[in-house]
Amino acid sequence: MRERRELDMNTGIVVLIAIIALAIGAVGGFFLARKYMENYLKKNPPVNEDMLRMMMVQMGQKPSEKKIRQMMQNMKNQAQKSDK
């Protein structure tokens, strides 16, 4: 009888440690992923209209609002297609 009770306690302790380790891993993973994404976005900011204007000027094109808006819309559509 005593052996059975000790076995149940040992099993309970193992399960408790596993749950605690899983929770710590999930929280740690969340913060590591968040830090990674912050660094990634600092190094590679998303393209905006000002960046498109600069790229067009560097390529020797005259950036009109219509062209900029078309390019932004095309990029948004392409991003939505790749998400699916």
**What residues does each domain of the chain span?**
1-45, 47-84
First-last CA distance in the chain: 58
- Against a cut of 0.75, is the pTM above it? no
pLDDT reported for residue 1? 53
Q: How far apart are CA 22 and CA 33, in angstroms?
A: 16
Q: How far apart are CA 28 and CA 21, in angstroms?
A: 10
| DSSP 8-state class, residue 63 | -
pLDDT reported for residue 81? 83
Q: How far apart are CA 58 and CA 33, in angstroms?
A: 35
pLDDT in tens, 14-24: 999 999 999 99
